[in-house]
Structure formats: C-alpha cells, structure tokens
Chain A
Amino acid sequence: MVATMGFGIKILGIICYLLLFYIASVLIFTKGFLLKRVAIDSNSSCNVDFARTEEHGETGGCWMHATHQRAIVVIIDALKFEFMVHHSDIMKNKLSYINKLPEIHNLLTQKPKHALLYKFIADPPTTTLQRLKGITTGSLPTFVDAGSNFGSSEIAEDNFLDQLIRRGKKVKFLGDDTWLGLFPGRFSTAFPFPSFNVHDLHTVDNGILQHLYTELKKKDWTLTIVHFLGVDHCGHRYGPLHPAIGDKLSQMNQVIGNITALMEKGTVLFVLGDHGMTATGDHGGDSQDEVEAGLFVYGVDQITASGQKHGDYRTISQIDFVPTISLLLGLPIPFSNLGQVVPELFDHCSWSKESHIKQVYHRVQALRLNALQISHYIDSYMKISRDLPEELYTELQLSLSLTEDDLQKLVTKLSSHAEVEEVHLKFHSLEKRYITYIQSVQGMCRDVWAKFDLGAMTLGILTLLVAILLTVYCIKISPLICEGKFPGSAIVVFITSFVYIVHIIVQVSFLERGMVLFMAFILGLVDLVFLGITIQKAQGDSKGEELKNLTKRSYFELSQTFSFENWFNLFVIVLSMAGYFSNSFVVYDTSISVFLTQTLILMVSFKTVKEHFRTVKETHKEMHAKKARTSNKLRFSNIVQHPVFLTLCLTFFCSFCICLTKNFQACREEQVNCINSRFLERLVNLSSNTGEKNIRYFFSIVCLCILVLIPYLLLKHYGNLNGTSLPVLCMKYAMPLLLVCCALHWAVQGLPQNVLDSMPVWQQIVLPRIVHVSCIFSLLVFLIQPLLVYILPQNHKSLSLPYGQSSEHLMHTVYRHIKVNWQDYFSNSKDKPPVVFGLGTVYTSGVLYIGTLVSLLLCLLLGDGMTPSVLLGWFSVMSFLEIISIQMKATQDARLNMLSAVLTFHLMTSVFFYGTGHQATIPSIRWEAAFVGFHGDFTNNIVPAILILFNTFAAQVLFTVLTPLILLWPYSKGIFSGISLNNKSGKNETESEWKGDFVLFENEHKLKGTMMELMMYIILINELQVLSAMCAASLHRRHLMVWKIFAPRFVFQAVSSSITFVTLLLVYLLILKIDSQLGKWLTKLCTK
C-alpha cells in the first residue's frame, strides 16, 4: 500500500513540475505584455507647499493666476495635422482635404499673437476612449489601470474636469457619448449623441450644432467641451481622399468661424484632434499618420508674446494639453499628469510691461510648477509600486532639487535688487533644465509603462513551448508508467528541463537583461530540440516494445494513434487555436465553441456506432446461425435497447442541451444584433405583473431540485447511501437544507430594493452564509470519511436490512450490491463473504458527491437565472458519459480514446463558460458575486476575489471536478449503457461478476496511470490554448483591438487554465485519498 501511495505522489510530483513550467511561462509573458500602472486616486489641491495657494485678485486661480476665465474645447475626432495646416503649394490643392480649414490659417496670419498651431502627437493606442483618458488626465495609456473602480470605464484618476468641478465651476458638454461613460454625472448640461454608427456622418454633428450656439451664448459655464464625430466617421466610411471629407471639413471650418465670432474677452479656444487617420481612414495603431493630430489655440486676448513663424509649427505631446489648460484656467495640475506645459502660452502677462526677462520668468514659473507636480506624483507612485527604476529616479529627483536651489538663489538675488549679469541667460538655462527634467521623467515612465518587453514575451512563449513538449513526452511515456516503470530518458529530460527552469526563474527575478537573456534563449532552444528528439525516440521505443509483445491491446493502441479520429481531433484543436488569431473568431467564440462541441459529440457518437458495427461484424461469422434466428425480428424493446438507437438518442439530447445554452449567453459589445439573455437580468428587475418574475423563480427552483436529485438518485441506485456515516447523512439532509437556503436567498434577493435595504444586514447574509458553511462542512466530512460504502452486518441475513424500506426497493438495492470475494483478502474469514453496498462505485460516488456540492455552491454564486444552465451542464456531461460508456462496452477491453473525450469536455467547458453568462471581456465580469453572503465590508480582497473567480469560471470548476468520471463512468455501468443490449451475447455478465470501478483498485497502477494520462491531456490542451492566446496577443500587440479583444482573451484563458489545473490537482488528491482510505478499509475488513 505504501508503494501505491508513493506512486500516486510521484505522479503528483510530475504534474506539479509541469505546472511550474506553465506558471513560470504565464508570469514571464504577463510581465512583458500587460502594461501595468497603478492608478492613484489622490487629487491635487490648491494647498501645496510649492505654489501660491490663495485665490488671487480678480483673475482668481491657484498655483498660478488664471489668464483665462473660460475655455472652449472643440474636439474633432480624427482631425489630422495635415487637415489644419495651410498649403500654398498648388499641386497639393487637388487633394480633397487640403486647405479646407481656412479659418485657422486666417487667424494665424492675421493675429499671430492670438493664435497658435501645434502638431499634436498622440500616444498609441489611437482609439478615442484611450485618447480621451490621456487628454483629460495627462497619463500614459496602459492595459490595466489597477485602481478602485476596475469595473467601469469611469475615469478614476485626477483630471482637469474634476478640478474645475471641485472648485464649483460648471462644465458643459455636447457630442460623442463616450464622454458620459468616462465622466458620469459631471456635466451641468450635456447633449450626448451615440457614437456607434460609423455610417452615419451627420447625426452627431448636426445634433451638436442645433444646441451649440445657444448654449455658448448662455454664459453659465467655465468650460464647454464639444466633440464632433463627422470627420472620423467620414474617414472610416470613405477614407481621407474622398470629397465627402472636404465637405465635412468645410462644415467644421464654419463652426470654428462661428465660435471665434461668439467668443468674448477672457475666453480661450482649443481645437484639437484626438488622433489622426491612415490613408484608408482607420486609426488605432501607432503609425505616423495615426498619431499626428493637430492642436489649434486661439484666444480673444493675446495669448503669447513670442508668436509663431508661419510653417514652423512645434510638435507637442497630447498629454501636454492637460497641464497647459489647467494652469491657464488657474487650476492645480491634475495629480497624475505627466505632460509638460506649453511654455509660450505663459509668457504673456497682461498687467505688466513687456520685458524679455519677465516673459522667461513666467515660463520658468509654469514649468517649475509642472515639474514639482510631476515629482510629487512620481514620489507617491514609488511609494505604492516598484515599477520604476530606482537609480534613475533618485538621479532625476536630485537634479530637480538642484534646479530648485539655483532658481531660489536667482530670485532672492533679483528681489534684493542685486545686479545679476545676464539674467535672462540664467533663466533660459533654468527653463531648459526644467524641461529636461520633465522629459526625462516622461521618458522613464514611457519606457516602463508603454513598451512591451519583447524579450520577456518571447521567453514566456518559449517556456510554454518547453512545457508543452514536456507534457507530450509524459503522455508518450504514460503507458510505461501505467505498468509502474520509469524509462531512463525521463531522468535526462528532467535534468535538462530543470536546468532551464531554474535559469529562467533566476534570470527573470534577479538578473538584468543582456547576455544572460541570450543564454536563456539558447538553453530554451536546446531544450526544445532535445525534447523533440526524446519524444521521437520514446515513441519509437514504445512502438518497438509494443511490436515485441504483440498483444491485441497494444496493437489496438498503435492503430489508435494514427486513426482518422485522432487526426480529426488534432484538426479541431488546430482550428480552435487558429481562432485566437482572428478578432472576429474571438468575438464570436460563443457560437464557434458550440459548433465545435457539436462536431466532436457527433464524432464520438459516430465512433460509438462504428465500434458497434465493427464488433457486430466480427462476431457475425461465429454467431451466424444464432443471429439469423433472432435478429430479423423487429421488436420494440429490441429497438429501444439497441445500442445504436440509444447512442443516437443520447447524442441528440447532449447536442440539444449544448444548443440550449445559447439562451444564457451574455453579449460582448462587438457582437452586433445580440441581445443579452433574460436570465442575466436580476430577479428584482423583472416585472411581477407579467408573472415573469414568478415563472423564472420557480423554474430555477425546479432546476435546482433536479440538480440535487440526479446525483442523489444515482448514489441511491448504486447503494452508496446506506448506513449512517456522516457523508451519507450530509447527502441526505444537508443537501436539501442547502437547496432550501438557496431558494430562500433568491426569494429575498427578489424583493424590491427598498424592502431589501430596510432589512438588517444579518438577515440578508444569513442564508448564503448557511450554504457556504454547510458546503464546507460537508466537504470536510467527506475528506475525513471518503468512502460511501456500507457493510451489511454479518449476523443479519442479507435480506433483512435494519432500516425500513419497502420490500420492492430493498430488492432493488440488494440487486446492486457487490460481493467482495477474493481469496487472499478473506481466506481466514467465515464461510460467508461480507456484503458491502456501494463498493462498485466507490470512486464514482466520491466524484458525484463533490460534484453536487460544487454545483450547488456555483448555483448560489451564479444566481437564480443561471441554475438551469448548470443543470444543462450536468445533463450534457451525463449523456456524454453514457455515450462513451456504450462505446467502451462495444470495444470491450480496448482503451478509451482519451484525447477525444478530454477535448470534448474541454470544448463543453468553454461552451458553458459562455453559457453561464460570461464573456472574455473585463466589463462582463459579474462583480455582484462578491456580495453573496457578504455585505461589502471586506477587510481583505481574498474572499471577494475567490467568489468572483468561482462565479466567472464556474464551468471550468464544475467540469474539471467531473472529469474523472470519463475514466470511472464506463466501469460503474451507467443507466443507458446498462440497459443497452449486449451484443456479444456469448458472454453474459452476471451481476455478481460486476465489480464496478473497484477493478481499478485491483490493478495497482492502472487507476493512477490512466488518471495521469487524463490529466496530461487536459494540461496539454489547456497549454496549447494559452500558447495560441499568447502568440495572438503578442502578434497583434499593435492591433487596434488588442486591449479590447486579444489581451482580455489571453488573460481569461490563462486564468481559466490555472483554475482548471488547481481544481484538477485537488480532484486528483481526492481520488488518492479515496484510494488510500480504501486500502486501509480493506485491511481492516480482512483482519476483522
């Protein structure tokens, strides 16, 4: 028994070793790919020690005096710099977009000190949402702005709109409704228009124009934001060379003219594009055409002292807009801004005489505030996160404090009227030093936040490839392991891979990049080649061995490896992997997984039918005489019990269940013509008038009852629910209790919100808490006593059972029992062997028990709407298992084709991932799951994280828990495969010969060996999926949709695989536990 245990642990070790590779690869890849930045939700305030705090005179403003009282920000989506600049070149005039904004050119030439034009460089990704975040907060874009509100798109960081509103100013908004998602409830007046329909060029713009001028005239605002979409839509639809874009730009020109005419003193106008467009009119990437937008600034008052030469337009970064507008309006610069003020907008001071020194001084002052704000931000960022390089940071801070000191000295000297030589030169050098500082910080942050670490990404992919090859190797040697042998090549494989993984881990966590990284690549490649050779060799070895002892079984295995079915399975795997590389396949993965699952189910059932016919054909010759007598009669029972008929019915049922999951799917925003499932709606929101609420509630309850009843009846059928041991009692009494609590909890949740809020907190959470606690209790009980068997007391006759059951039922139970009659165990026992109930399903019962518990818990977390979906999951799993049982029965001793079973299970998992109302996008995570049984007063984030993970990956957890049934179910004789006619009628199994999955215990290594193969296949398929998700994400890292489609897909796939692996390990441990307990129990039985 010790040896068996050791063997099980060894396999556990192998699997953990493989998982180490997986985890390492995912972490390394994530480190290189997911740009992370911690969002700090602090806000800048007026009270800082480096700037003046009091409101200043009539102009107002803190940090700096406000030079303008009002601002109008006109955003013209996709306004390229090319559109704004004036071309005197006549040849170029032919292009439709050239010189269509003469208003800008006129202002620039007529009032050079009132108007400025800049090339406005956007940070990729050049999508509107990301750009609006940049334009308002001044931060660099990243995938994960981990902060307080992870769920919505609302801006969490400090921004100039919030600064304005905090100071009691009014902000008006007209245009693209993306703004309302970013700033819900911030605008005093808002005229949002939907931005979705790209083909519609005019609705948004005309809607804006209808209100714009009247709203501007009202004067009840400090800031007005206008966002036109026409140019962008025009570009998407026709491209920039179409005449339509000229018309649109002329319309915009008119708008600019009208606005400038309406503007009064103290108002400043910004006309800007959020991004450019390519030659085809698209945007999103990082090409020159896409990032080059334009910014035009115009003030009624003089805004600059220096002016601009025509045709010599400076290039500024898009985030520079934020500090500039903040200081111009007398606001503090938003806390997490990284932009640099545009100095020339600060050198004109209306109430002092023009002097060169004054101008430079003003510029320095603005830059100084800017630099100090950035330094403040970087300080607090460094406190939270260690992303930024420490050394560079200290160096920069030192240079800033030196500059500060020099400035202080200079100013003191000046104020004491001491003569200073060449003041303006000194100021100029200070100005340069501040600019250098700001730009170095920007560069540092950009390096860390906005760049993919290609080295780490490649290393991650390489590591995963090594992991996949290792898994393939393990699958190849698993037949040997089944027999308890470890081949010699295993040690070499282990050593080489171990060296690699240690090197990788040390490399990534401790060493800097450089030559050693190169070493890692070389090592990885060597490992890959070596593993490939070893696998080839292992295959040859096992082939040779099989050929040596040409038993029927190994011959069958050999033919199975190259069968049509396996090729088809590989084809399906390749197809599903290829799907990760296409954005539309990722978006419509819901339908694609259903399609592939149906295909595989059909294939498996086709295989079953084929096996049946093959055996019929084989036995046909022997049984010819017999068959001629019987088979020509068509009797109803013959048809009903015919394996082919049963298979077809089960296949239909299984496919039908899979098809029904469509009713429970949620929609991604990219899916057009998609309506969210009604089952996703919370119960409260359904109207009780139409009865929908009641119908849905009771439907869910009925489904829940069936869900509990199926395993209960199965266990009862197998005789596992006899006796009074604790797990049996749990199954009998705790499950109904759980069910009732669950149902009541949903009823409570269905109450109207105000009634629910008036209830005390404990009343709201007591019911789900009972479910949690009793689930954990039942689980613990089962872990202590994992055998659901019952020994009939010896002194009783086998038919006089002590608990009152009807005689009819009793016969049924006894019919299913199992006699353990082995010579070596019971040589010294009495003449009569002991009668044990439920021994034939000792493993199956364990899995079913845990499966029931888990699915109840999942139902509670998923909410009432999704319970029918969980039930469908059980139905499809059960019918699929029946199909493969029939197949096993037809093929007799031959082994199951593990790959197709595991692959079908895997695809079903993804069907039910979508079928439980989830999508691989971050907005579709159902956060409310964190509050089942808790009231939101979490001290740490672990509990809600676990609840949300359970909710999101419910299908993965449930299906992985049920996976061992692929091995166990064929032994434990399902309902349908049990009644199906035995066509090899020569050998009729009698009931006493039936040993159930107990045969697995007989053979020391068989259970663990096949279990290992099963797990290896699951790991392999998951790793392949993650690999393709990784490759797709890195391949499309500059794709327009990378942050919406590919990156979330990768994250979800990686997390889902991790959860599958963890659950798999736990289930394996459970089976080991049952196994060892069974050993102990048997020795006890013998010695008794």
Chain B
Amino acid sequence: MTDEKTYYTARKVLKRTLAWTLFCSLASLILLFIPFNSGTILDLVSNCLVATKIWILVILIQICFICKSVTQSLPSKQHSKVGSLLKYVAVFLAIVPVFYVITILFGAPLTESRAETFHFALLLSVAGTFPGLMTCGVNLNEWSRIFVLSSPENGVEVVAYWVSLCSIFGAWLGAFPIPLDWDRPWQVWPVSCVLGTLCGYTIGLMLSSVHLFISYYKMVRQKR
C-alpha cells in the first residue's frame, strides 16, 4: 500500500515537474527570440543591461515555480524558511564575485564595461547555480553528487543538472563569435555570451523535459 502510494506520489511529482519544465522552456524560447533585434526593452542587442535584468528575474521565477511545484506536493520536505533563505542569499552573494573573476580570467575586459560584465556574472550565477541552490541548498555532498559525479535523481534535480550545465556551456560557446569580423551588434561583449547563456538555459530546460519524459515513460512501463 505504501509502495503504491510512494509510486503514485513520485509519478505525480514527475508529471508536474515535466509540465512546468516544458512550459518554462516554451516561455523562454518565445521570450528569447521574438524580441530579438526589435529594439524593445526585452531586446538583448539594444538594451543589454535592462534585458539581462529582466531575464534574471524570469529565470528566478521560473526556477522557483518548477521547484515549488514539487515542494507543494511533497509535504515531508520542510525547511526553516527564513534561515535557509538567508543562507541562500549569502551563498549566492559569494558566488557572483567568483563568476565575475572567472569571466575576467577568461578574457573579459578588466576596466571597461564593468557593468556589463557584472550583469553577465549575475545572470550566469542565477542560471548556473540557482537551480542547484534550490534543490540541494548548501549541502556540499548533495552538490557533489549531482554536479560532480553527475548522478541527479529524477525530478527537480534533473532540471537543475541540465539547466546549470547547459547554461554554463552556452555561455562558454557564446564567446566564440566575439572575435569574428562580421561587425554585428550582437557580437559586442557581453551580448553574445548572454545570448549563449540564455539559449543554453532554454536548451537545458528542453533537455531536462526530455530526460524527465523518458524516465516518466520508463516508470509507467515498469509498473505495467
């Protein structure tokens, strides 16, 4: 009976996560490409800083929703809310400078366009570490299990794993068009990297929904 119940809860969680992830990935896809080169406030090329800020918010909300969908249906996992929130904020504040320094080390300009670099670091830490922070908090062992040994459990951890990985990889790939002599406005630092991060983020969401779908499918078939 309990087996049956846990199975159904797990299935429900999976289903919910899958739905939310799919929805979020579609939403980011639309948000990313419709305003491209339109000159509106969401356009990364002309309004890089503002658009990055909005995107950071979007990612925060999306990740919160995805994670929230699980915590709602899982009443057993509970945290002391204020304490953990403070902890998260502290960790997050520590991570942003780390990303900033890494960006500089990889060749971002040191003295010029500091605001852009900072926004990029902020976005990268939001897309790259916030999902992890939401799923495993400040537990180092959990982090190493998911990210270093790459064995995330089904559910939100899969989302966190793929989103972080793909965002960072996207940011990395985004640097490659910068030296090309095409003279396009999106080649200017950090537009292409921000674009890369966001594309990576979207692709990560898609990949995780595929991953979740496959495991859901397996789960259903196993039961039968």
B106: chain A residues at CB < 8 Å are 594-595, 598-599
| In the complex, A617 has a CB within 8 A of chain B | yes
B144 interface contact, C-beta 8 A? yes
Rounded to whole angstroms, the CA-CA distance of A656 and B102 in the bound complex is: 9
Interface residue? A523 (CB, 8 A): no
Contact of A659 among B105, B148, B179 (CB under 8 A): B105
A308 within 8 A of B: no
Is A592 in contact with B105, judged by CB distance below 8 angstroms?
Answer: no
Q: Is A46 an interface residue when CB atoms closer than 8 A count as contact? A: no
CB of A655 within 8 A of CB of B149, answer no
State in angstroms the CA–CA spacing of A606 and B102 once bound together: 14
Partner of A584 from B102, B105, B172, B180 at Cβ < 8 Å: B180
State the CA gap A556–B148 with chains docked (Å).
Answer: 18
Task: Decide if B175 is an interface residue (CB 8 Å cutoff).
Answer: yes
CA A891 to CA B105, docked complex, whole Å: 28
Taking CB as reference atom, which chain A residue is nearest B176? Answer: A575
Cβ–Cβ contact B172 & A587, under 8 A: no
List residues of chain B with CB within 8 A of the CB of A662: 107
A313 to B149, CA, bound (A): 77
Q: Chain A: which residue is nearest B143 at the CB level?
A: A613
Q: Does A769 contact B (CB under 8 A)?
A: no
* List of B residues within 8 angstroms of A242 by Cβ: none
B181 within 8 A of A: yes
Check A109 for interface membership: any CB of B closer than 8 A.
no
Considering the complex, give the chain B residue whose CB is closest to the CB of A654. B105
Contact, CB under 8 Å: B148 / A609? yes
Interface status of A10 (Cβ within 8 A of chain B):
no
Q: Is the CB of B149 within 8 A of A591?
A: no
A500 to B16, CA, bound (A): 64
Q: Give the distance to chain A from B172, nearest Cβ to Cβ, in Å.
A: 7
A613 and B172 in contact, given A592-B179, A656-B105 (Cβ under 8 angstroms): no
Determine whether the beta carbon of A585 is less than 8 Å from that of B179: yes
A588 within 8 A of B: yes
- Decide if A583 is an interface residue (CB 8 Å cutoff): yes
CA–CA, A658 to B175, complex, Å? 18
A582 to B104, CA, bound (A): 25
Minimum distance in angstroms from A732 CB to a CB of chain B: 38
Across the interface, B149 reaches (CB within 8 A) one of A582, A592, A599, A613, namely A613
Query: Are A617 and B180 in contact, CB atoms less than 8 angstroms apart?
Result: no
Question: Is A356 an interface position by the 8 A CB rule?
Answer: no
**B172, A599: Cβ atoms closer than 8 Å:** yes
CB atoms of A591 and B179 under 8 A apart: yes
Contacts of A658 in B (CB 8 A): 105
Give the residue among B101, B144, B172 with the most A Cβ atoms within 10 A. Answer: B144
Q: Are B180 and A595 in contact (CB under 8 A)?
A: no
Give CA–CA (A853, B119) in the complex, Å: 47
Q: Do A613 and B181 touch (CB < 8 A)?
A: no
Complex Cα spacing A414 to B175, Å: 79
How long is the Cα–Cα vector from A141 to B164 in the complex, in angstroms?
Answer: 54
Instruction: Report whether A610 and B179 are in contact in the complex, using a CB–CB cutoff of 8 Å.
Output: no
- Of A587, A606, A655, the residue contacting B179 (CB under 8 A) is A587
> In the bound complex, do residue B148 and residue A595 qualify as a contact, i.e. CB atoms below 8 Å apart?
no
> Would B104 and A659 count as touching, CB distance under 8 A?
yes
Complexed CA–CA distance, A609 and B175 (Å): 26
CB <8 Å contact, A584 and B148: no
Residues A617 and B105 in contact, CB atoms below 8 Å apart:
no
A598, closest chain B residue (CB): B106
C-alpha gap A362/B175 in the complex (Å): 67
Determine the chain A residues whose CB is within 8 A of the CB of B149 once the complex forms.
Answer: 610, 613-614, 617
Given A610-B148, A617-B149, A583-B181 contact (CB < 8 Å): yes
CB proximity to A under 8 Å, residues B167-195: 172, 175-176, 179-181
Measured between C-beta atoms, what is the minimum distance from B29 to chain A in Å? 25
- Distance in angstroms from A64 CB to nearest chain B CB is 49
* B177 to chain A: closest residue by CB: A584
Residue of B nearest to A588 (CB): B179
Cβ–Cβ < 8 Å partners of A591 in chain B: 107, 179
A592: chain B residues within 8 A (beta carbon): 179
- Residues from chain B with a CB closer than 8 A to the CB of A584 are 179-181
> Scoring B residues 134 to 171 as 1 if CB is less than 8 Å from chain A, else 0, what string do you get?
00000000001000110000000000000000000000
Residues of chain B with a CB closer than 8 A to A656's CB: 105
Nearest-neighbor residue (CB-CB) of A583 within chain B: B181
Proximity bits, B32-67, A CB within 8 Å = 1, else 0 = 000000000000000000000000000000000000
Q: Contact: A655 with B148, CB < 8 Å?
A: no
Contacts of B105 in A (CB 8 A): 598, 655-656, 658-659
Min CB–CB distance A889 → chain B (angstroms):
17
Interface residues of B in 47-96 (CB under 8 A from A): none
**A652→B105 CA distance, assembly (Å):** 9
B101: chain A residues at CB < 8 Å are 652
A591-620 near B? 1/0 per residue, CB < 8 Å: 110110011001000100110011001000
- B106, B172, B176, B181 — which one has the most chain A CB atoms within 10 A of its CB? B106
A659 and B106 alpha carbons, distance in the complex (Å): 7
A residues less than 8 Å from B176 (CB atoms): 575
Q: How far is the CA of A394 from the CA of B175 in the complex (A)?
A: 59
Task: Convert A845-889 into 0s and 1s, putting 1 for each residue whose CB lies closer than 8 angstroms to a CB of B.
Answer: 000000000000000000000000000000000000000000000
Chain B residues in 8 Å Cβ range of A614: 149
**Chain B: minimal CB distance from A618 (Å):** 11
* Bound: A582/B180 CA distance, A: 8
Query: How far is B175's CA from A575's CA once the two chains are assembled, in angstroms?
Result: 13
Query: Nearest Cβ in chain B — how far from A774, in angstroms?
Result: 39
A613–B107 alpha-carbon span in the complex (Å): 30
- Tell me if A613 and B180 are in contact (CB < 8 A): no
What residue in chain A is nearest B140 (Cβ atoms)? A644
Quick one: which of A616-672 are within 8 Å of B by CB?
A: 617, 652, 655-656, 658-659, 662
Residues of A within 8 A of B172 (CB): 599
> What's the nearest-Cβ distance from chain A to residue B183, in Å?
11
Across-interface contacts of A599 in B (CB, < 8 A): 106, 172
Cα A783 to Cα B82 in complex, Å, equals: 69
- Cα distance A613–B142 when bound, in Å? 11
Chain B residues with Cβ under 8 A from A583's Cβ?
Answer: 181
CA distance A606 to B176 in the complex (A): 22
Which residue on chain B has the smallest CB distance to residue A597? Answer: B106
* B128 to A: closest C-beta gap in Å: 13
Chain B hits for A598, CB < 8 A:
105-107
Alpha-carbon distance between A599 and B168 when the two chains are bound, in angstroms: 12
Known: A599-B172, A609-B148, A610-B148. A585 touches B107 (CB 8 A): no
**Once bound together, how far apart are the Cα atoms of A658 and B104, in whole Å?**
12
Residues of B within 8 A of A594 (CB): 106-107
A920 to chain B, nearest CB (A): 15
Collect the chain A residues with CB atoms within 8 Å of residue B107's CB.
591, 594-595, 598, 659, 662
Given the known interface contacts A584-B180, A585-B180, A613-B144, the answer about A595 and B175 at a Cβ–Cβ threshold of 8 Å is: yes
**Which A residues, 565 to 599, have Cβ-Cβ distances below 8 Å to chain B?**
575, 582-585, 587-588, 591-592, 594-595, 598-599
Residues of B within 8 A of A659 (CB): 104-105, 107
Bound form: Cα–Cα A588–B107 in Å: 12
Q: Mark A487-498, 1 if CB is under 8 A from B, else 0.
A: 000000000000
Residues of A within 8 A of B102 (CB): 602, 655
Residues in chain B near residue A595, CB distance under 8 A: 106-107, 175
Other CB < 8 Å A-B pairs besides A599-B172, A613-B144, A655-B105, 14 of them? A575-B176, A584-B180, A584-B181, A591-B107, A591-B179, A592-B179, A595-B106, A595-B107, A595-B175, A598-B106, A609-B144, A610-B149, A614-B149, A658-B105
B: residues with CB less than 8 A from A are: 101-102, 104-107, 144, 148-149, 172, 175-176, 179-181
Q: List 29 A-B contacts (CB under 8 A).
A: A575-B176, A582-B180, A584-B179, A584-B180, A584-B181, A585-B179, A585-B180, A587-B179, A591-B179, A594-B107, A595-B106, A595-B175, A598-B105, A598-B106, A598-B107, A599-B106, A599-B172, A602-B102, A609-B144, A610-B149, A613-B144, A613-B149, A617-B149, A655-B102, A655-B105, A656-B105, A658-B105, A659-B104, A662-B107
Those 6 A-B pairs whose CB atoms lie nearest each other, nearest first? A588-B179, A584-B181, A613-B144, A655-B105, A659-B105, A584-B180
